[in-house]
Amino acid sequence: MSTTHDTSALEDRLVAALAARAELVQPEDLAPLATVATLRPRWQSPWVLLATAAAVLLVLGVVLQGVGGRQRSDDVAPRPDDPKIELELPADVGRDWKASPESTPARVDLDGDGAKEKVEFLGEETKDFDGRIRLQTTLSSTGEEAYGVADVASTVGAGAEGVVDADGDGDQELVVFDPDLDTSGGAPLVFDLREGLLVQVVPEDPSLLQRGDVQVPGSQTGLYDRVRVLQYWIEDGRLFSGRSEDSFARTGMTTAQLPGIVLETWEWRLGDDGVLRREAAGCKELVFDVQECDADSGAQVPDLTPATETVGVGESADITTGFPFSIRVEAGDPPVLVGEGQDGVTLRHELDGADPRVATVQPESIFSDGESLVVTSASDPTLVQLLVQRGERIVALDPVGEVPLENTDDNRTWLTEGGSVVSVTAVDDGSWQLWSWQMTSGDRVFALPGVTVCFDDVDDPTTARRC
């Protein structure tokens, strides 16, 4: 996050100040635990806990039965012959390379004798720190040197991500993370001790053993594309990976994914031929970590509570969340919106439509580097307009894309308390497609598709739930 000395010093000060401020709150300052009693009734009762546990087990049983009982199309379809994969033995290069920048040696029992070897990571010297790394160690069982070589996107920070025993032979394979500098993802490189060398084994389908957002082929629309989320992880010495069942719309660095991503997962097992092959490992949910799926798994519905406070002609408000400024609406034909920033700059903008209402919550999800506002009309409920600051003027964003920027019965649009502008469009089965508005080039704005939601009462967005 920081590269300069000044920034680093500021970060150090911030860390120290936050720690000191937090430490002022000591356990004895907290109100007595008894105050939590109001929270307890449903949980304190052992009968409720037993009943809850029984219900959870019952639901889990149903879910697992459902998952296990489903036959996937690729289970019955003929499988192609295994592709011919050949292992490459490492060349003995890089003996004179220096330790990779910021790398940490790994401690791994490569030969299975119960003693851990120290594996060092040497980096090839290149201008951009791309190139190869050399892993080298001395085996505790024989005293002989073992080494491996791999091409990586960055030699900086080369190190072990973990160890696995993917072939079940009792010794450990070393997993090294190879970052993908373009996608902020990457893939694991797995090294197995074979014939005295650290050989990089090969997954049968590398596209399913990686981490990051991967574009769905053919999903580009000009305004956004769609990605699937891939993740891999090590659990109890076993290597797993997963890919999201759903794809998510993405524009720039923004994606429509929400916590609660359901993954189709695989465990990767290493064969004698040095090939990692995948075995289905069922459904998992990626929230903050990877968890078992349950009845509640899946994307959560975001908070769609509408922002209701607005100002009209003759009224004013201070906007303090996000970019701070004050607004007022002056009478006129048309009425004039006046924005005054803390820098003393006053912006004026003639408003469209009769009886304009300007929300006092900024649409920060659209624009946060200056004044931004949502304008509606008390006399025209269909009107929704997004305004942003451009230098010393305010401009109205031009809506483009699949969804019109308007508020009608089957295309409802509103600003949420959290500063997002969302639309929901009616789907034939009674559900609603959620869209979130995003700014794009040329002062344009478009709606990015999100999850499907259902409403108990469509006139009350707070009743939104998963369908």
Q: Which residues bind other proteins (CB under 8 A)?
A: 1-2, 6-7, 10-11, 13-31, 33, 35-36, 38-40, 42-44, 49, 52-53, 56-57, 60, 184, 252-255, 258-259, 287-289, 291-292, 294, 296, 302-303, 320-324, 364, 368, 418
- Bridge partner residues of 145 (DSSP): 138
Closer to other proteins at the Cβ: 252 or 381?
252
Closer to other proteins at the Cβ: 142 or 291?
291
- Provide the minimum distance between the beta carbon of 387 and other proteins in the complex, in angstroms, as a whole number: 19
According to DSSP, the β-strands at 275-286 and 202-203 are: parallel
**For residues 293 and 291, what is the distance between their CA atoms, to the nearest angstrom?**
6
- Provide the minimum distance between the beta carbon of 368 and other proteins in the complex, in angstroms, as a whole number: 8
6: tokens are 């000044």
**For residues 229 and 225, what is the distance between their CA atoms, to the nearest angstrom?**
13
Phi and psi based region of residue 32 (left: phi greater than 0; alpha: psi -120 to 50; beta: remaining): beta
Of the candidates 91, 138, 85, 87, which has an alpha carbon nearest to the alpha carbon of residue 115?
Answer: 138
Q: Say which DSSP state 24 is in.
A: T
Strands (E), 392-443: 393-396, 398-399, 411-415, 421-426, 432-440
Closer to other proteins at the Cβ: 35 or 71?
35
- Provide the minimum distance between the beta carbon of 116 and other proteins in the complex, in angstroms, as a whole number: 27
Closer to other proteins at the Cβ: 426 or 454?
454
- Provide the minimum distance between the beta carbon of 345 and other proteins in the complex, in angstroms, as a whole number: 17
Closer to other proteins at the Cβ: 24 or 76?
24
According to DSSP, the β-strands at 356-359 and 346-350 are: unpaired
CA distance to 412, 447, 455, per residue, from 403 (Å): 10, 6, 20
Closer to other proteins at the Cβ: 129 or 323?
323
- Provide the minimum distance between the beta carbon of 138 and other proteins in the complex, in angstroms, as a whole number: 34
Sign of CA dihedral 142, 144, 150, 152: positive
- Rounded to 5 degrees, what are φ and ψ at 260? 105, 65
Closer to other proteins at the Cβ: 126 or 184?
184
Closer to other proteins at the Cβ: 24 or 77?
24
Closer to other proteins at the Cβ: 196 or 259?
259
The answer to whether 219 touches 251, Cβ cutoff 8 Å, is no
Other CB atoms within a 10 A radius of the CB of residue 404 amount to 16
**For residues 61 and 66, what is the distance between their CA atoms, to the nearest angstrom?**
8
Q: Say which DSSP state 11 is in.
A: H
**For residues 352 and 396, what is the distance between their CA atoms, to the nearest angstrom?**
10
348: tokens are 């004026």
Closer to other proteins at the Cβ: 423 or 436?
436
- Provide the minimum distance between the beta carbon of 446 and other proteins in the complex, in angstroms, as a whole number: 16
- Provide the minimum distance between the beta carbon of 98 and other proteins in the complex, in angstroms, as a whole number: 28
Coil vs helix vs strand at 228: strand
- Bridge partner residues of 425 (DSSP): 411, 433
3-state secondary structure labels for all residues of 157-194: CCEEEEEECCCCCCCCEEEEEEEECCCCEEEEEEEEEE
Residue appearing with tokens 């999850």: 451
- Provide the minimum distance between the beta carbon of 254 and other proteins in the complex, in angstroms, as a whole number: 5
Closer to other proteins at the Cβ: 142 or 320?
320
- Provide the minimum distance between the beta carbon of 405 and other proteins in the complex, in angstroms, as a whole number: 22
- Provide the minimum distance between the beta carbon of 255 and other proteins in the complex, in angstroms, as a whole number: 6
If residue 50 lies in a helix (H) or strand (E), which one and from where to where? helix 46-69
- Provide the minimum distance between the beta carbon of 356 and other proteins in the complex, in angstroms, as a whole number: 22
Length of the chain measured in residues: 467
